[in-house]
């Protein structure tokens, strides 16, 4: 049994590291494609991206083999699951838009996140307390993270729109948010069922529950204004960003706030020290800002180069 567990742990590490390496290769290849319109590099980027997705899939499978459960309990596992889902959402987004925007910048964000959590987040399996030994918890985390993944990729598109004013980016951010919203709703509902099972109450106005409700209301308002009131462009993009900000606070920021202000929460378990939680939160904010800044301007440069080439062709 010990040899079997050791084998799974070892191979999880290999596939995890291989995943973020090929994702970085994917990012570099896509960047060259965007700037120089190099079709071979686009092909390389797609292939590397798929390999990265396969690598994270294998990491999740190996972790399941030696832990005997889905990776949904502590910080390392949730980041691993979220990263895998972001890659899945990016593949879906690029398939529907016939574009490689989502895979380009999601690959960089996920790779940077995986490198960070490998260095700073304990990956050791934890003892699962009774409240966490529930299929409803697994369903709750999976559906919620799928919603978070869609919101995250949609946010990148909304920010890039503010830099470039390309309508398809704002449309993509809306479609991904609309895709993620039902999963967030299901995640909140299944979390209530889990709460009843674990603590005997459907809704206790726990800080995490309250912040998740606020996030749900912000995204509901965004989708309503976008669909029913016809909001487009900058207003819609900024409201999408507001929704993502509420998601980021609910996902990571609230852990630190609860610790700092000594707020009792049933949703904080073995997540490390308060400084660890703040480090994760600050990292996410900084990583997202870097991705948005670089990504937006790469697309802008690409657009300018293509426009110049087109003008040169017309002059000839």
Q: What is the 3-state secondary structure (H, E, C) of 107-149?
A: HHHHHHHHHHHHHHCCCCCCCCCHHHCCHHHHHHHHHHHHHHH
pLDDT more than 90, % of the chain:
40
C-alpha 5/C-alpha 120 separation (Å) is 23
Average pLDDT of the residues in 291-308: 66
Domain around 284: 2-315
Cα 102-104-108 angle, rounded to 5 deg? 110
Mean local confidence (pLDDT), 44-54: 97
- Residue 250 pLDDT: 85
* Residue 159 near residue 292, CB atoms below 8 Å: yes
Question: Are 45 and 24 a contacting pair, CB within 8 Å?
Answer: no
256 SS3 class = helix
Which of these, 136, 142, 149, 138, lies nearest to 190 by C-alpha position? 136
The number of CA neighbours under 13 Å toward the Cβ of 28 is 7
Backbone φ and ψ of 70, nearest 5°: -70, 145
Portion of the chain with pLDDT greater than 70, in percent: 76
pLDDT range class, residue 107, cuts 50, 70, 90:
very high
Using only C-alpha atoms, what is the Rg of the chain? Answer: 20
State whether residue 38 is helix, strand or coil: coil
Which among 89, 83, 94, 88 has a CA at the least distance from the CA of 42?
94
| Mean of the per-residue pLDDT values of the chain | 82
Closest CA to 252 of 97, 96, 89, 75: 75
pLDDT band at 137 (very low <50, low <70, confident <90, very high): confident
> At CA 142, angle to CA 141 and CA 143, rounded to 5?
95
Question: How many domains does the chain divide into?
Answer: 1
Comparing CA positions, the residue from 184, 237, 240 lying closest to residue 212 is 184
Mean pLDDT check: name the lowest of 36-40, 112-116, 184-188, 260-264. Answer: 260-264
Distance CA 172, CA 102 (A): 9
- Pairwise pLDDT comparison (40 vs 37), residue with the higher score: 40
CB 74 within 8 A of CB 126: yes
10 and 71 in contact (C-beta within 8 Å)?
Answer: no
Q: How many CB atoms lie within 10 A of CB 272?
A: 16
Which tens digit of pLDDT belongs to each residue from 174-225?
A: 999 999 999 999 999 998 998 888 777 877 778 888 899 999 999 999 999 9
């Amino acid at each position: 049994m010990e040899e079997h567990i050791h084998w799974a742990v070892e191979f999880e590490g290999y596939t995890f590291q291989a995943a973020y390496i090929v994702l970085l290769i994917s990012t570099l290849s896509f960047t060259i494609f965007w700037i120089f319109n190099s079709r071979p590099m686009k092909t390389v980027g797609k292939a590397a991206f798929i390999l990265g997705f396969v690598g994270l899939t294998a990491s999740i499978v190996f972790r399941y083999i030696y832990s005997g459960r889905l990776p949904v309990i502590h910080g390392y596992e949730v980041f691993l699951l979220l990263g895998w889902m972001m890659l899945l959402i990016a593949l879906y987004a690029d398939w529907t838009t016939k574009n490689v925007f989502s895979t380009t910048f999601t690959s960089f964000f996920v790779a940077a996140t995986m490198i960070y959590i490998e260095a700073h987040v304990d990956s050791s399996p934890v003892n699962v307390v009774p409240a966490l030994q529930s299929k409803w918890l697994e369903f709750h985390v999976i559906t919620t993270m799928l919603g978070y993944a869609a919101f995250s990729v949609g946010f990148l598109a909304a920010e890039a729109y503010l830099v470039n004013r390309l309508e398809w980016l704002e449309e993509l951010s809306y479609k991904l948010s609309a895709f993620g919203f039902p999963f967030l709703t299901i995640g909140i509902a299944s979390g209530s069922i889990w709460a009843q099972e674990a603590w005997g109450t459907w809704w206790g106005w726990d800080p995490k529950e309250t912040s998740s409700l606020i996030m749900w209301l912000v995204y509901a308002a965004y989708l309503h204004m976008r669909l029913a009131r016809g909001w487009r462009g900058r207003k819609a993009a900024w409201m999408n960003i507001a929704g993502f900000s509420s998601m980021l606070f609910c996902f990571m920021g609230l852990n630190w706030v609860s610790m700092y202000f000594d707020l009792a929460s049933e949703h904080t378990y073995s997540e490390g020290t308060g400084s660890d939680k703040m480090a994760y939160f600050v990292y996410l904010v900084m990583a997202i800002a870097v991705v948005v800044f670089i990504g937006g301007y790469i697309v802008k440069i690409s657009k300018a180069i293509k426009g110049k080439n087109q003008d040169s062709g017309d002059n000839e």
